[in-house]
Amino acid sequence: MLENRSAITVECLTKYYGNFLAVDHVSFMVNSGELFGFLGPNGAGKTTTIRMLTGIIKKSSGEASVMGYPAGSIRAKQLSGVMPELSNAYLDLTAWGNLMLVADLYRISRNPAKERAESLLRQLGLYERKDSLASTYSMGMRKRLILSMALLSNPQILFLDEPTSGLDVQSVRFMRALLRNLKQEGKTIFLTTHNMDEAAEMCQRVAIINRGKIIALDSPDKLSITAGRFYLIDVSFDKSVNPETLVNLPGINRLETAQAIEAADKLRAHQAMAGAGRPGMGGGQGRMQAQMAGKSPAAAAQKGIGAGRKPGVEDGEDNNNNRRYRFYTDNTTLLVCSLVDFSRANSLQMNILNVRPPSLEDAFIRLTEEKNHGK
């Protein structure tokens, strides 16, 4: 259970850059001891919000408090640890030198600082390289060094901006396990990430910001069901099937061909290897590529669209690309019955490869696409 008190309180927080409204009167609360996700497309206002909460930039209007103190105040900064997306370690200093510099900035006594630094470097697997320059570190090692710098003062709250972005799979797992341990220790964690699986797995609640406004705030499971809405059913037939004969089956909201599925899967695999998982350029784009030309994503979600045949494939030609399909539905029972009836009527054999409930990524894409289309 979350403690019944607030670690972050934000009311009508606003930031203008000249005439550009970057953060538009946002309001939310983060509970003490919570791992809170702050999600949004690139340029949505995530980093600007973090910078206001940590005192790096000044707000234009509104109110924000961190651990009961005004955001940006000396006391709020003393209680906070910050891990920016871009490295803020001094590359011409060793790992040990970076940590001792942080200790001086936070006025931590030398002996406690050394004990804390050694413990963190051992925990993060950097102790053997403590005397190496940060410039010689890999990206994963630098991220761990930055996290150790953020933790040196033993803060009550952590602001983490894309902590796993660009990391390899092993480093991502290491970082996630570490964050879980920090939460178990009672730390409040404010996390921005483009990786929807990461947010769904780790966060108790997430807020989605788009064009400077909060458009959703709830638990990942509730957002997935209420906003994601569509179930995914992967089906393969034993013979080639014209997608135009499938698109109007009862229960279908949207249809993807094998070509679009493979393109989206390859893109997601590439993102996973890079540790990025950016839905704004990944899952959503893969899905949009599966739609017919001239159809908007919003129309696709409402109407059900045939992705069309692969150019050059004739109507009776047996082609593996016309055997596998992905269906989006908000009524799995109706769609499965429709597919069974269709298969029997056309002497087809069918395998249901996977039935997946709505995901946070589905909710994220639907919410941000609707907002972008003015709905």
Three-state SS at 320: helix
Number of domains in the chain: 2
Residues 162 and 246 in one domain: no
User: In the beta sheet, which residues pair with residue 159?
Assistant: 82, 190
Residue 32 lies in a domain: yes
Give a yes or no: residue 56 inside a domain: yes
Q: Choose the final residue of a domain: 176, 200, 219.
A: 219
Position 366 scores a pLDDT of 84
pLDDT along the chain (375 residues), means of 10: 72 96 97 96 93 96 96 95 85 96 94 96 94 94 93 95 87 90 95 93 96 95 84 90 91 85 66 42 35 34 36 39 86 91 92 83 84 53
157 forms bridges with which residues in the sheet? 80, 188
**CA torsion 340→345→350→356, rounded to 10°?**
-30
Rounded-to-integer distance, Cα 166 and Cα 277, Å: 9
pLDDT of residue 359: 87
Q: Is 189 inside any structural domain?
A: yes
Instruction: State residue 115's pLDDT score.
Output: 96
**pLDDT at residue 371 in the model:** 57
Where do runs of H (alpha helix) occur along 246-291? Answer: 258-274, 283-289
Please check whether residue 178 is in contact with residue 124, taking contact to mean a CB–CB distance below 8 angstroms. yes
Sheet-wide strand order for 20-31: 20-31, 6-17, 61-66, 69-70
Q: Which DSSP string corresponds to 6-47? A: EEEEEEEEEEEETTEEEEEEEEEEEETT-EEEEE--TTSSHH
CB within 8 Å of 129: residues ≥ 6 apart: 95, 136, 137, 141
Residue 365: predicted pLDDT: 86
Same domain for 329 and 215: no
The pLDDT assigned to 375 comes to: 46
Residues 175 and 213 in one domain: yes
Residue 364 falls within a domain, yes or no?
no
pLDDT of residue 305: 38
Tokens representing residue 204 in the block: 């108790």
Alpha-carbon separation of residue 332 from 19, 23, 176 (angstroms): 48, 39, 33
| Domain termination residue (choose one: 219, 239, 260) | 219
Instruction: Give Cα 249 to chain centroid, integer Å.
Output: 33
Do 172 and 291 sit in the same domain of this protein? no
Residues 336 and 257 occupy one common structural domain = yes
Residues 251 and 108 in one domain: no
Distances from the Cα of 48 to the Cα of 52, 244, 253, angstroms: 6, 46, 37
pLDDT value of residue 320: 61
Are residues 305 and 188 both part of a single domain?
no
pLDDT at site 312: 28
Task: Tell me: do 165 and 290 sit in the same domain.
Answer: no
The pLDDT score that the predictor gives to residue 267 is: 63
Does 74 fall in a domain?
Answer: yes
Any domain includes 366: no
**What are the C-alpha distances in Å from 78 to residues 152, 157, 362?**
11, 10, 38
Q: Do 22 and 143 belong together in one domain?
A: yes
Domain final position from 188, 219, 250 = 219
pLDDT for residue 88: 79
Pair 237, 176 in one domain: no
Are 324 and 236 in contact, with CB atoms under 8 Å apart?
yes
Residue 362 lies in a domain: no
Give domain status of residue 203, yes or no.
Answer: yes
258 is in which domain, residue-wise? 230-310+319-357
What CATH number has the domain bearing residue 130? 3.40.50.300
Do 213 and 234 lie in a common domain?
A: no
pLDDT at 260: 78
Residues 243, 141 share a domain: no
**CA–CA gap between residue 258 and residue 264 (Å, rounded):** 10
